[in-house]
Amino acid sequence: MDPDISIVLVGVQTPGNIGTAARAMKNFGFSKLLLVDPPTLPRDGDAYGFAGQAREDILPNHKIVSFDYVVENYHTVAFTAITNQSGAKHMRFPFLTTRDILDEVSQLSGPIALVFGRERIGLTNVEIAKLDRICSIPASSLYPTLNLGQAVTVVLYELSPLSLFESQHPNLEFDLATPLELEDFYAHFSSLLTALDYPSQKHKKTLRLIRRVFGRTRPTSRELTTLRGVFRRTIRNASSTQSLSQKKDIL
C-alpha cells in the first residue's frame, strides 16, 4: 500500500539531501516527492548519486510545487528538531513528537503532506503559521540539529506501518473537511473579526490560534458549514447594529 502521503522538501540547497530523502522514501514504502524552490537536479549530480534505487522512480518523478499549493491541497504536518517555545507562544504549540505521528496520521483522510524545511534555518515562522500541525523530532540538547535526510528517515520509519504492512485507516462515519474548505473557513473567520471590529493588532495572532485549534481537531465539512452559517448571521447582525447606530448619530 502506498498511502496518500507526500514528502515535501522546502528550499533545500544541497541536492544530496534530496537524494538521501528519496532513498529513505524508497526504504519505507513512500513514493510521492514534492519540492518547493529546489536546486537543479542533473542526472549525474549528487541527488541521483545519493538516491540509491530511488533514482529510478521516486527522484525523477518528483513534482515542483509552490508552498501555498501544499497548504491549500493537503493536511499538513511540519517537522522541526526543536520548538524553542512554550504554550504561551501558540505559533508552534502544542506540538507532536515522532512518538505521536503514526496515530495522528492514521486518523486523517485525504492527501497528507509531511513538510521539511531548509538545511540551515528549517521552516520560517510565517510558513509554520500556515501549516496544520507541528512535530518536534526529539534530539539531544547538546546537538539538537538533525541533518535533513536523517529527519526524513526518522519520520518515515515511524510511519512505515502504514506503507509496509498495509494498515488501514480507521473507518470514519463522516468526511473530514478538505484543506481548501479549511482555508475558506479561515478567510470567513477573518471577515468575522473585521465585522466585529476586533482589535487589529490582535487579528493575525488570533487567526494563527484558530489555525492551530482546527488543525488539531480535524473538523468535518458539515461542521465547518454550520460554523460558517453562524459567522454569516453574526456578520449580518453586526452590520445591522452598526447601521442603526449610524442613523441614531445622524438624528
pLDDT digits over 103-138, tens only?
888 878 789 999 999 988 889 989 998 999 899 888
Burial-class residue 181 by CB neighbours within 10 Å (0-12, 13-18, 19+). middle
Give the three cell numbers for residue 193: 473579526
pLDDT at 162: 83
**Which parts of the chain fold into alpha helices (H)?**
15-28, 46-50, 67-73, 101-106, 125-129, 148-164, 179-195, 200-217, 221-250
Q: What are phi and psi of 115, to 5 degrees?
A: -110, 125
C-alpha triplet 169, 31, 50: angle, nearest 5°: 140
179-250 maps to CATH 1.20.120: no
pLDDT at 172: 45
In this structure, the dihedral spanned by the alpha carbons of residues 134, 139, 140 and 141, taken in order and rounded to 10 degrees, is -20
For the chain, the average pLDDT equals 85
* Cα 61 to the center of its chain, rounded Å: 22
Q: Please tell me the CATH code under which domain 5-164 is placed.
A: 3.40.1280.10
Give the three cell numbers for residue 244: 442603526
The reported pTM is 0.66
* Cα 197 to the center of its chain, rounded Å: 30
* β-pairing verdict for 63-64 and 32-36: parallel
Residue pLDDT tens, the chain, 251 long: 456 999 999 999 999 999 999 999 999 999 999 999 999 999 999 999 999 999 999 999 999 999 999 999 999 999 986 544 444 444 445 578 888 888 888 878 789 999 999 988 889 989 998 999 899 888 787 887 789 999 999 999 999 888 875 444 444 444 778 888 999 999 999 999 999 989 989 998 999 889 888 877 778 888 999 999 999 999 988 877 766 565 555 55
Domains 5-164 and 179-250 share a fold: no
pLDDT digits over 26-59, tens only?
999 999 999 999 999 999 999 999 999 999 999 9
Residues with Cβ within 8 Å of residue 170, at least 6 apart in sequence: 106, 107
Provide the residue ranges of all domains of the chain, joining segments of one domain with +: 5-164, 179-250
With contact defined as beta carbons under 8 Å apart, do 70 and 131 qualify?
Answer: no
Q: Which residues, in sequence order, are bridge partners of residue 5?
A: 112
pLDDT at 245: 60
